[in-house]
Amino acid sequence: MSTSYENVVVERQDQIATITVNRPKSLNALNSETLRELTAAVRECADERAIILTGAGDRAFVAGADIAEMVPMTPWAAREFSELGHVLTALLEDLPCAAIAAVNGFALGGGLELAVACDLIFVAENAKLGLPEVSLGVTPGFGGTQRLVRLVGKIKAKEMIFTGDLIDARRALEIGLVNAVLPREQLIPHCRQVAAKIATRGPLAVARAKRLVERGYDMPLRAANRQEAESFALLFDTDDRREGMQAFVEKRPPKFTGK
């Protein structure tokens, strides 16, 4: 049974959770309470095989942090607000299951930072993405300066961050920021299709693979490869590995239990 939230809607079905930021009147802007609720919702759904993150309405995924809340902030309050965002985005990276961003409109500032903390990003044709914080006299505060450069490279990330300009869905695909661009009506069905496929794979293997990619990215290649070899070997002592290989030999779909 899902917890009831003020600004977030959680739906769980067939080992897939859909978490929707539900503040359409403010284009799903992230205030402190919404960040806390999202963090709680993601933790609640960590035992699912995949999580889809999206926004309510037909205009925005998340149009950024709530500027009205930020206006009176002191530096200390701003640091606390930033930490809320960092806790959430780090949690998305550390989840043992796949996190999929279904970007159905504006993904600006904190919204884009939320998306790039996910494992996969699919966007609707009407999507606009950007980190416009410099136009407000601040930097990105939820990890955008670090994750964006790891996705698209230093030069393209600097252009987006320094100018604050928005890019459309096709440009996002061109620079490797997103996995695919879809007609709006196909976005959520496509994300569910991908999530359903992931849900049929070995959950321990998916969790280990995610950890290897995330932690190995900044490690020397040989050290990262040693971690991969260790994970590969450890998974041989699991019921899922035995079931997966036996099912392959027997030419039948595997039934993974996460053990």
Residue positions annotated with a catalytic role:
113, 133
Q: How far apart are CA 148 and CA 112, in angstroms?
A: 9
What letter would DSSP give residue 134?
Answer: G
Work out whether the CA dihedral 73, 30, 155, 225 comes out positive or negative. positive
- Please report which helix (H) or strand (E) contains residue 76, including its range: helix 75-94
Going by their DSSP bridges, the two strands 180-182 and 120-124 should be labelled as parallel
The answer to whether 64 and 159 are in contact (CB under 8 A) is no
28: left (phi over 0), alpha (psi -120 to 50) or beta: left
Cβ neighbours for 51, distance < 8 A, ≥ 6 positions apart: 16, 17, 18, 19, 42, 45, 95, 97, 98, 99, 100, 195
The answer to whether 65 and 139 are in contact (CB under 8 A) is no
- Please report which helix (H) or strand (E) contains residue 234, including its range: helix 221-234
Q: How far apart are CA 129 and CA 106, in angstroms?
A: 6
